[in-house]
Each structure stands twice: as C-alpha cells, then as structure tokens.
C-alpha cells in the first residue's frame, strides 16, 4: 500500500486565488456580466465550465462560455511570471516525500497554467504525478480527481490525505472517503471549510509543516 498525499495547487501551494478572482471578474465584465468578486472568490476551485455555470446559472447564454473562459485564460496568463509559492509549500512536499509519502497533485488548471504553477512551486523532484482536468470526466467537488490521484499512486482511501483550500476540495475529499485537511491560505473561512468536511485546518503550508507530527499524516504514518 502507498501512503498518498494529494494536494490541490491554486491557493493551497501557490498564492493565486485572488489573481484568479480578478481575472474571472474582468472576464465576466467584458462579456456584460456583473458578478461580485466575493461570489467569484467562493467559486474558485471549480473547473472553468462549472465555475461559469455556478455563477451565471444553467439558463445563461452558453454561447458566451468560451469567450468568458478564454478571457480569463488570457488575463491570468499575464501573471505567470509573478506567481509565488506559499511559504513552506515546497518544504512540506519534500518532507512528506522524505517520510515515504507519494505526493500527487490534483488540479483543474490547464496544462499551460500548470506549467507556470510548477515553476513557481519548484518541487518537481518530489511530485510523483499529476491528476489533471483532462484525466477525469468531472472535476471537484466530484471525487474523481482524488480517486484518479489514488489510482496513480496505488493508494487506498485509508492511506490517503487530501490537502486543499476550498469548500469544493473538502467536499471532494469527503465524497472520496479520504482524510480532508484544509488550509486557510486560499481565503475561505474556517467555518465554511469545516462544514464542508475538513477534519483539520491550518493557516497555510508552513503551519501544516510545523504541526506535521500532530496531524493526520503522523497518525496514518504510525498506523502504516
């Protein structure tokens, strides 16, 4: 059995959530939609199609979807060279890998975005693989991305921990029957994350790293 540490990327390992909020807000504005930034923020973590439907509804003019998504992609890409890993993110991944965990990323980011995220994170040496949006039929909050990550690593729910920063992350982990760890680094309130299924909550990667020996990672490691 492989102890599997599955990580979301945006807002969990790399400080990008508010950049996405601004890019989506402007993309909606360019297509004639006024969407509050707070609403956009709460939707971050969904794949592009699901995010647009969540914010505009099922009865929207779907012919605009591609234009909205394309505008977001273009706007967000202007930030690629300025992306920054969250404090302690790479060290957290390396510490877990050093303790025998298989580290897999589960993200809805496009390949182009993912390349920029990985450069910012600078931890490819300990990332075993990536479960991307193209690998599953449904993105978070469906459990498929996490199940795909477990399949890649050869892990089981009992030996898998999922770390994310959004309500959608916690819902996906719950549906996949894996331990859910939430980080506040994405800006979502603790209460919302716990209501969605978070078993443990930390301020960010550095805080989780500092408390790793008291976390679910240590308990699963001891049991294994």
Least confident of 36-50, 85-99, 125-139, 151-165: 125-139
Tens digit of each residue's pLDDT (9 = 90 or more) over 116-159 = 999 999 999 999 999 987 777 888 999 999 999 999 999 999 99
Tens digit of each residue's pLDDT (9 = 90 or more) over 178-211 = 999 999 999 999 999 999 999 999 999 999 999 9
For residues 144 and 162, is the Cβ–Cβ distance under 8 A?
no
Give the pLDDT of residue 2. 85
Helices (H), 47-157: 48-56, 65-77, 89-98, 111-121, 144-153
What's the CATH fold of domain 17-78?
Answer: DNA polymerase; domain 1 (1.10.150)
What's the pTM? 0.96
Give the pLDDT of residue 223. 73
Alpha-carbon separation of residue 70 from 31, 44, 132 (angstroms): 11, 16, 19
Domain boundaries, given as residue ranges, for the chain: 4-15+84-223, 17-78
Q: Is the pLDDT of residue 34 over 80?
A: yes
- Mean pLDDT, rounded, of the chain: 95
Smallest CA-to-CA distance from 215 within 188, 182, 173, 174 is with 182
CATH 3.40.50.300 given to domain 4-15+84-223: no
Give the pLDDT of residue 101. 98
Give the pLDDT of residue 132. 81
Alpha-carbon separation of residue 84 from 47, 76, 80, 123, 149 (angstroms): 21, 14, 9, 13, 24
Length of the chain: 224
Collapsing DSSP states into helix, strand and coil, what is residue 181? strand
């Amino acid at each position: 059995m492989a102890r599997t540490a599955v990580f979301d990327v945006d807002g969990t390992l790399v400080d990008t959530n508010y950049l996405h909020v601004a890019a989506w807000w402007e993309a909606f504005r360019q297509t004639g939609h006024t969407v509050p930034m707070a609403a956009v923020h709460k939707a971050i973590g969904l794949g592009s199609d699901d995010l647009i439907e969540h914010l505009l509804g099922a009865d929207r003019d779907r012919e605009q979807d591609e234009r909205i998504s394309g505008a977001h992609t273009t706007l967000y890409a202007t930030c690629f060279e300025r992306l920054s890993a969250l404090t302690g993110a790479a060290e957290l991944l390396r510490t877990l890998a050093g303790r025998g965990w298989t580290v897999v990323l589960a993200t809805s980011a496009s390949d182009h975005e993912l390349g920029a995220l990985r450069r910012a994170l600078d931890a490819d040496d300990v990332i075993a693989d990536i479960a991307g949006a193209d690998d599953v039929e449904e993105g978070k909050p469906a459990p498929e991305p996490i199940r795909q990550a477990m399949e890649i690593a050869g892990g089981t729910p009992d030996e898998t921990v999922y770390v994310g920063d959004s309500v959608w992350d916690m819902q996906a982990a719950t549906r996949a029957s894996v331990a859910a760890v939430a980080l506040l680094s994405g800006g979502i309130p603790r209460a919302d994350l716990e209501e969605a299924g978070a078993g443990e909550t930390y301020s960010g990667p550095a805080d989780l790293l500092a408390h790793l020996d008291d976390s679910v990672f240590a308990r699963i490691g001891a049991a294994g």
